[in-house]
Amino acid sequence: MKILKTDVGRHSPLDDDNVVHRVYRTAQVLNVLDALARLLVHKIDGSGQVFAVGIVPPSLTQASARIIISENSDVTEAAKNHARHVLQGLHAARKLVKQELKGGDSPPPPLWNRISGFIPTDITDPSLHKLAEIETVVVRYSWLKMCKRFRKANRHTAFFTVYDAILAHNAEDAALKSLEAQYGWPQADDFREEFVFLGQVLRELDKALQQPLSDEQIGEVQSDKQIGWVRSALADVHVSSKTLRARMPKVSDMCAAYHADLLARSNAQGKAKADFAQDIDFNHWIDKVLSTYTDFRQLRRIIGSPTLDAVVTEEIEITSVVQSPAEAFVFVTVDNLRDALGTNLGVDDDDLSDFLRKRFQMDERVKVRGCIHCECAVLAELNSIRRMGDAIISYVGVSKPSCSVSSEYFATYRKVTQQDMQTTRGTHDQVYPWRCLSRTTLPIGRSARSCRTCCDPSSWPRL
């Protein structure tokens, strides 16, 4: 039975499976692809980096695993090198673990039993040392993005404001009294102890996670020691926030309510309005702060997974996919503008003509905007490999949810080809300028046909 929705021309190690393990193994690959796509993000300028990643397992004709990477602009050498370095590092760690298991009469305990939170780089255990080395590389690469996530919209300031106010525990504080009445908070000692610790480790992270002055400094100013502080603080924030949420599931709501109250009182007293939003989701902020740490935890599962062992090889071939759409134009005239807006518009032709002249500089031929979105570019590459007869894994890892048009594009692909190809993160249902890949004879589904409004109808993809 086939697994992981592989579409197989030649035999792949992933073909051997049974139904019992299918869902679990599917989730393993999906999570790894998802984490890898996010861990490739390292720039903070412009409109935001987005990555899509596919993996092609080794086959009879291809000894190395292939990683297909696409970005919302050209794929940087840094991203390609990082993907190769991290995956090969994890493969090397897996080899070490396998050697340990053959290590005579007293092999060490399983790797996962030896991990307890932060792993220092000077640890003598060879497998753990390797893991710490790889995580150091991951944190250094993601540094700028981590700094941005921590301080985005000043949520860290909001948290520390609430934290300090709660620990001050002013008996006259009306907002605190109201929270105590509603939630019994913060009287519970075990909760208070965990909350105090979370605040301390977040402050340590704030101190250690200093943003360099320029992009060039990245990798130079972050010493292994500084990265060690950040890794250690992240491990503590992870454990502490998990424990706190388990003890008091509504802790984030309570902090948000208290913060909103502080803000309202501050405004009522005529103080300057704070520059952060009132309803802050502190759980979401902490999840974002931890994302590099948690994504690496997902990725390192490669070490212990027989499924992923069949996919990740000692040498990794990286293919970057950059697709530029052919130039396309649409004609925007007074007549088709009136058709689009409806007949009872109450605006005469001269005004519409004037609007078009100002908007499009008197040219009725308007260039279609947009680029080929990265998950669609990876889909096309995987499809081409499948048509050549090699096995593929039918998931595309993405660092952000897809736009609605890309999501429809995947749906159309599934319908037309009967191949169950998916992205890992669903869709956020918003529309951005979007272009098709190439000319095609693909029968077009109802939903995809609507894209004719923004794309040259002759430029549909060949899939």
* Interface with Zn ion (CB under 5 A): 373, 403, 406
User: Which tokens hold the place of 404?
Assistant: 């609605």
Under DSSP, is residue 366 helix (H, G, I), strand (E, B) or coil?
A: strand
* Burial grade of 260 (CB within 10 A; 0-12, 13-18, 19 or more): middle
Least gap, CB of 431 to Zn ion (angstroms): 9
User: Which tokens hold the place of 364?
Assistant: 């009725």
C-beta of 156 vs 435, nearer to Zn ion: 435
284-318 burial: b if 16+ Cβ within 10 Å, else e: ebbebbbbbbebbbbbbbbbebebbebbbbeebeb
C-beta of 295 vs 408, nearer to Zn ion: 408
Residue 354 falls in which region: left (phi positive, over 0), alpha (psi -120 to 50) or beta: alpha
Least gap, CB of 319 to Zn ion (angstroms): 20
State the amino acid at position 227 in one-letter form.
I
Whether the CB-CB separation of 308 and 301 falls below 8 Å is answered with yes
Least gap, CB of 409 to Zn ion (angstroms): 8
C-beta of 50 vs 162, nearer to Zn ion: 50
Under DSSP, is residue 97 helix (H, G, I), strand (E, B) or coil?
A: helix
Least gap, CB of 407 to Zn ion (angstroms): 7
Least gap, CB of 411 to Zn ion (angstroms): 13
Under DSSP, is residue 347 helix (H, G, I), strand (E, B) or coil?
A: coil
C-beta of 160 vs 432, nearer to Zn ion: 432
Least gap, CB of 40 to Zn ion (angstroms): 17
Whether the CB-CB separation of 323 and 372 falls below 8 Å is answered with yes
C-beta of 316 vs 436, nearer to Zn ion: 436
Question: If we measure between CA atoms, which residue out of 31, 268, 230, 236 comes closest to residue 146?
Answer: 230
C-beta of 373 vs 386, nearer to Zn ion: 373
Contacts of residue 14, Cβ cutoff 8 Å, sequence gap at least 6: 2, 3, 4, 6, 57, 307, 310, 311, 391, 393
C-beta of 159 vs 460, nearer to Zn ion: 460
In angstroms, the first-to-last Cα distance of the chain is 26
Task: Tell me the CA distances in angstroms from 57 to 54, 296, 342, 393, one per residue in order.
Answer: 10, 21, 53, 7
Q: Which residues are 329's β-sheet partners?
A: 367
- Shortest-Cβ-distance residue relative to Zn ion: 406
C-beta of 406 vs 412, nearer to Zn ion: 406
Q: Write down the residue that tokens 């935890």 correspond to.
A: 297
Contacts of residue 290, Cβ cutoff 8 Å, sequence gap at least 6: 234, 237, 238, 241
Least gap, CB of 396 to Zn ion (angstroms): 11
Q: Which residues are 367's β-sheet partners?
A: 329
Least gap, CB of 142 to Zn ion (angstroms): 23
Least gap, CB of 405 to Zn ion (angstroms): 6
Least gap, CB of 72 to Zn ion (angstroms): 9
C-beta of 276 vs 432, nearer to Zn ion: 432
Least gap, CB of 117 to Zn ion (angstroms): 38
C-beta of 60 vs 431, nearer to Zn ion: 431
* Burial grade of 352 (CB within 10 A; 0-12, 13-18, 19 or more): middle
C-beta of 243 vs 440, nearer to Zn ion: 440
For residues 86 and 425, give the distance between their C-alpha atoms in angstroms, rounded to a whole number.
22
